Chains A and B, each alone.
Chain A
Amino acid sequence: GQSLEQPSEVTAVEGAIVQINCTYQTSGFYGLSWYQQHDGGAPTFLSYNALDGLEETGRFSSFLSRSDSYGYLLLQELQMKDSASYFCAPNSWGKLQFGAGTQVVVTP
């Protein structure tokens, strides 16, 4: 079957670094995507890993280990606007399956 695990909530102060871990179990795995969603808004694409290793996109980086079925999203230099939900989404047979999401709360 399929399963996805990520922490439900993370709180950090402005300027800090936050790591959101994601473990998955799925078939037909193509890669792992990360999305950000603010309350009431649409998910917006942050990062994608098809191969093992680290992908860096500005303040956000994502890592994937296919052998461990594990990935993480790293948020650096946290800003207040980063307060949102973050979802890992394995691409399974061409379809994105979303985890429960991690609520990131950034405090002053």
Chain B
Amino acid sequence: GAVVSQHPSWVICKSGTSVKIECRSLDFQATTMFWYRQFPKQSLMLMATSNEGSKATYEQGVEKDKFLINHASLTLSTLTVTSAHPEDSSFYICSARDLRQGNYGYTFGSGTRLTVV
């Protein structure tokens, strides 16, 4: 089945620094990937849709200058949290769509737990 790899699985950074999270589709090409954010005991909130070769589409209320998304190849999307602050501490999860599986084909990465100190 489709596999999505996400790295790092956890990261601690100092306030004001930037953190990059990678999301890779290992055995399929993904023209579209999705980035979610989840606070403890809460739902997954869609942040943005990452489109290969074009600009990401951000959901309402998500700061595009703070959460930079790059989807430079058919198997890799990156999310960079710029000038991180403690309130950015959260669980970030990516998802990639395997078009071979139609609307069943949304596979999630294992997530990245970001702690900003």
Q: What residues of chain A have their CB less than 8 Å away from a CB belonging to chain B? A: 30-31, 33, 35, 40-45, 48, 50, 87, 91, 94-101
Contacts and interface: CB of A to CB of B under 8 A. Distances in A.
A42 B46 contact: no
Interface string B95-110: 1010000011011111
B42 A100 contact: yes
Interface in B23-82: 32, 34, 36, 42-46, 49
B9 to A, nearest CB: 10
A91 B103 contact: yes
B102 to A, nearest CB: 8
B93 interface: yes
Nearest to B57: A95
A87 B43 contact: yes
A41 B111 contact: yes
Contacts of A43: 44, 93, 108
Interface residues of B, number: 22
A101 B43 contact: yes
Contacts of A33: 103-104, 106
Contacts of A91: 103
Contacts of B108: 35, 42-44
A97 B34 CA distance: 11
B34 to A, nearest CB: 7
Contacts of B107: 45
Contact of B93 (A42, A95, A97): A42
Most buried by A among B45, B106, B111: B106
A42 B43 contact: no
B49 to A, nearest CB: 6
Contacts of B42: 100-101
